[in-house]
Amino acid sequence: MPSKGTGSSLKGVSTRINGRHAFIHERVLELIVRETELRGAVTFRKGDLAQRLGCCERSLDRALTRLRRDGYVVSTPKFGETGAQLGNEYQATVDGIALAGGFRKNKNAGYRAGVRA
* Residue 66 within a domain: yes
State whether residue 92 is helix, strand or coil. strand
* Residue 11 within a domain: no
Give per-residue burial for 69-96: e unless 16+ CB within 10 Å, then b: ebebbbbeeeeeeeeeeeebbbbbbeeb
pLDDT digits (tens, 9 = 90+) for 94-104: 999 999 888 76
Please tell me the total count of domains within the chain: 1
Q: Which domain holds residue 48?
A: 16-106
pTM for this entry: 0.78
pLDDT recorded at residue 19: 76
